[in-house]
Amino acid sequence: MNEEGLPFGIQYAMFNILRFKRGKFRGELEIN
């Protein structure tokens, strides 16, 4: 993945989405 051409806002948004998915997945594992 090449992040040099992306604006900082897009990088930050992508990072938040990945962190949210990871937290959601981890939460689902804990519930089950």
Q: What is the pLDDT of residues 1-31, one digit of tens each?
A: 555 676 788 888 888 888 888 877 777 767 6
pLDDT at residue 32 is higher than 60 = no
pLDDT at res. 31: 63
Q: What is the pLDDT of residue 26?
A: 74
Predicted pLDDT at 3: 59
What residue has token string 């959601």? 24
What's the pLDDT score for residue 2? Answer: 56
pTM over 0.85: no
Contacts (Cβ under 8 Å, ≥6 apart) of 14: 6
Distance between CA atoms of 4 and 25, rounded to whole angstroms? 28
